Structures are given as C-alpha cells and as structure tokens.
Amino acid sequence: MKTLYANIRKYIKKYPARTSGYFSAITIYLYHYIPAINADSIMFFVSIFIGMGEAAQRAEDKKTIMAIYLNSDGNVPDDDLIEEAMNLHKAKHSK
C-alpha cells in the first residue's frame, strides 16, 4: 500500500496539469450526477482547482526552463535560448 501512495505522489508531481484536469472532471461529473451536492461546495473545489491549474502551469514552466538550460552549451545568451524555444514551440503547434 505504501508503494501505491508513493507512485500516486510521483505521478502527481510528474504530471500536475493532467492531475488537475482529472480532479476537475471528477468534480463536475459528481455535481452533474448527484443532485444532493450543492453549488456552494462545488465553488470551493473549483477555486482549489484553479489554484492547482496555476501551480501546474508554474511546474510545467519550470520543467521547460530547465530543459532549455540543460540542452544549452553555455555560450548562447538567455534571450536567444528563450526565443529559440518559443520558435520551436510555435513550429511544433502550427502544423
């Protein structure tokens, strides 16, 4: 059982945006299919999930920045690294 919890914590840490999405979907599902749940309690969870989304975004940004710096040769200015990463991202998502 201890290994299960360790794996769950590892998954949440590795995929924070996915986890936030799962929890949001489960909350909406429960609200829709269980009429006894009131809107006030749902708003509490929605505010938590907004915070989780923000934390997930920051974690993803941190991973992106780390990947940029780990793959650089040290002789390229930071602005050029960021611009290159943005161009790669745009090219990847424009297809």
The token pair at 52 is 């989780």
- 78/62: higher pLDDT: 62
Please write the tens of the pLDDT for every residue from 41-68.
Answer: 888 888 888 888 888 888 888 878 777 7
- Amino acid identity, position 13: K
Domain that holds residue 39: 2-93
What confidence score (pLDDT) does residue 73 get?
67
The token pair at 6 is 């360790």
Number of domains in the chain: 1
pLDDT bin (cut points 50, 70, 90) of residue 71 is: low
Rg (CA), the chain: 19
Q: How far apart are CA 90 and CA 66, in angstroms?
A: 19
The token pair at 33 is 């299919």
CA distances from 1 to 9, 15, 19, 89 (A): 13, 21, 20, 40
Q: How far apart are CA 59 and CA 36, in angstroms?
A: 35
